[in-house]
Amino acid sequence: MDHEGGPAPDPRGPGGSAFTIAGRVTHWEPIARELTIGGRVLRVAASVFFVGNLDVGARIMASGDHPRNVSDQWVVTRLRVG
């Protein structure tokens, strides 16, 4: 996972697309459920049960949904640490 914050989009039609992003955590806010990888701020869905501490620098792989509207926040639906 040497790629630092570059998304790999997977088009899924007019409603948006799926994404997978791998990199190192630069910020984690467990109450707001916001995760930052590089400069990308992601919202972690309530369906993702992991809400503990993620240390800055931890390697993760996240995937989820990217809304069609580019100003909307990406939503993580799967998260793998390590």
Tokens of 38: 């590089």
Which residues lie below 8 Å from residue 53, measured CB to CB, with a gap of 6+? 28, 30
The answer to whether residue 75 scores a pLDDT higher than 60 is yes
The token duo for 29 is 């806010």
Residue 1 has pLDDT above 90, yes or no: no
How far is the C-alpha of 54 from the C-alpha of 65, rounded, in Å? 21
Residue 48 within a domain? yes
Model confidence pTM above 0.75: no
Residue 2 placed within a domain: no
Express each pLDDT in 36-70 by its tens digit.
998 899 999 988 986 567 889 999 999 999 887 77
pLDDT at 82 over 70: yes
- Asked, for residue 3, whether it belongs to a domain, the answer is no
Task: Give long-range contacts, CB 8 A cutoff, 24+ apart: 35-38.
Answer: 35/60, 35/62, 35/76, 35/79, 37/4, 37/5, 37/62, 38/4, 38/5
Residue 15 is part of which domain span? 10-81
* Residue 2 phi, psi (nearest 5): -85, -10
Rounded to 5°, angle at Cα 12 from 54 and 67: 55
CATH number of the domain that residue 28 is part of = 2.40.50.320
Confidence of residue 25 (pLDDT cuts 50, 70, 90): very high
Structural domain contains residue 40: yes
For residues 12 and 25, the model is more confident at 25
